[in-house]
Amino acid sequence: MTDTLTILTETAQRFPDMNLSERLAKIRALVSGRIVFTSSLGAEDQAITHAIFSQKLDIEVVTLDTGRLFEESYDLWAETEKRYGQKIKSYAPDTSELETLIGTQGVNGFFDSIEKRKHCCFVRKVVPLGRALEGASLWITGIRADQSAGRGNLAFFDTDAGHDVLKANPMLDWSVEQLDAYIETNDIPVNTLHARGFPSIGCQPCTRAVKPGEDARAGRWWWENENGNAAQECGLHVGPDGRLVRTRKQDIFA
């Protein structure tokens, strides 16, 4: 794993001269074994899905179906599969764990405390993610550095200690303007909620439209943010210490 990470990190130095399709194709060529891309069906994820499906790359596209997604997200899921003629694999919460969660804290108990919200995220997202990444050599995400302050110091490639897998953020240096242009140029289907002020889309009860001047993830777990708790992460991209895995900003191309 260490040798592959070194090679990938060296490759990232050439990323400024590569488009998204070239970056993903290079990752596939350099990494042996199973590669998994987890899509939340947001704009970034749709761009990566397009680059994977249009090149027919041997990269699994999966999504975490929490059971509480927006109807618009399910509609986009179906539209994407029809557009590219390929399936997005679903990973859902364990039935017994979900029944215990709801039986213990209620159907909307996540509003009561940060601890309950994190437990809901754990059952509905983190555990299914673990199953999705079992046996994977590398995990691809749609993270961009300017989505939030907490994501500004991440690296193109790193090791996710929690899942013992290499992790790639191939769109890390993209601006929202680059993303919008790529989507328009390639006529990529996107979630209709984006046009209604939702740059980041998660579960329906836990996501609102952002207000002017807020960062892209301010609408996630909005009631916590409004109470002074800058949550903005569900646990998918944090290390064992509960913090985002990160490196120095100057190392993005190192």
Catalytic residue ranges: 234
Supply the DSSP symbol for 122.
I
In angstroms, the Cα distances linking 190 to 46, 58, 73, 179, 252 are 7, 23, 9, 12, 28
> What is the arrangement of strands in the sheet containing 165-168, beginning at the earlier edge strand?
89-91, 60-64, 34-38, 136-140, 165-168, 157-160
Q: What are phi and psi of 129, to 5 degrees?
A: -60, -40
What gap in Å lies between CA 140 and CA 146, rounded to an integer? 18
Q: How far is CA 167 from CA 106, 159, 173, 193, in A?
A: 34, 6, 15, 28
